[in-house]
Copies of this chain bind each other. A is one copy, B any other.
Amino acid sequence: MALQPDNTPSQPSRVPDVVIDRLPQYVRILHALMDSGVEVVSSHQLGRRLQVTPAQIRKDLSYLGRFGKQGRGYDVRYLASELKQILGLNRRWNVCLIGVGRLGRAILSYPGFAPEGFEIVAAFDTDDRVVGATLGELKVQPMDELGETVERLNISIGVIAVPSSVAQEVMKLLTECGVEAILNYAPVYPHVPERVRVRNVDPVLSLQSMTYYLSHRNNHG
């Protein structure tokens, strides 16, 4: 979370992790600019949209290549395409969901994933009462089918929406199946092998750090 403290460390990388974390935002803004018919953008304009300095943007992009034209700026379409290529966003990613309780169902019906290429293609639960049920287009499977399904459907990403008490165990099962990227909605920070990336979605933690500033602001009101 950076800032939400929200990533798994790595070492043998030329591009700093913090740069990689910013790239998807760049892509998002570039798409918005494309939709507005903007064809060329400077680091200064991009920086204003993203609330970062122009220097930061130029430096970040310089880790990845030389995309700009001096005196002119960046071609919006070209830069977006290159960044998506680098991030691996020009393809579709199959995702499995673990846990189809209240939260899991909300995630299943969230319409923001599929348009970005993240397709939830399998759902699992341990509860016999929901295994076998059909949610949307998916049939809820028992956990012991995880390994086979991950392999068959070439699933690279797991989404954890189970109670905290079993999150560590689920994380272990996922990594043992070869899943190397996990989006974790459980409010715990399980241990994972070094090769596995974890991002935590933890709104309570976000609230709990903001209250510090609310409590310590100078003028009350």
Chain A residue total in the interface (Cβ 8 A): 65
Report if A4 contacts B (CB, 8 A): yes
A180 cross-chain contacts in B, Cβ below 8 A: 213-214, 217
Docked complex Cα distance between A208 and B215 (Å): 34
Residues 194-218 of chain A, each 1 if its beta carbon lies under 8 Å from chain B, else 0: 0101010101111111111111110
Closest B residue, CB atoms, query A111: B102
A2 cross-chain contacts in B, Cβ below 8 A: 1-7, 18, 21
Total identical chains: 2
A157 cross-chain contacts in B, Cβ below 8 A: 207, 210-211, 214
Docked-complex contact A88 and B212, CB < 8 angstroms: yes
Docked complex Cα distance between A28 and B187 (Å): 9
Report if A17 contacts B (CB, 8 A): yes
A3-B21, A4-B7, A116-B207 known; A197 vs B213 contact (CB < 8 Å): yes
Docked-complex contact B6 and A1, CB < 8 angstroms: yes
Q: Which of B18, B102, B109, B210 contacts A5 (CB 8 A)?
A: B18
Report if A67 contacts B (CB, 8 A): no
A156-B214, A189-B51, A214-B181 known; A87 vs B208 contact (CB < 8 Å): yes
Report if A138 contacts B (CB, 8 A): no
**Top 5 closest A-B pairs, CB basis?**
A2-B2, A2-B3, A1-B4, A1-B1, A88-B215
Residues of A within 8 A of B (CB): 1-7, 10, 17-18, 20-25, 27-28, 50-51, 86-89, 93, 95, 102-103, 106, 109-113, 116, 118, 156-157, 178, 180-181, 183, 187, 189, 191, 195, 197, 199, 201, 203-217, 221
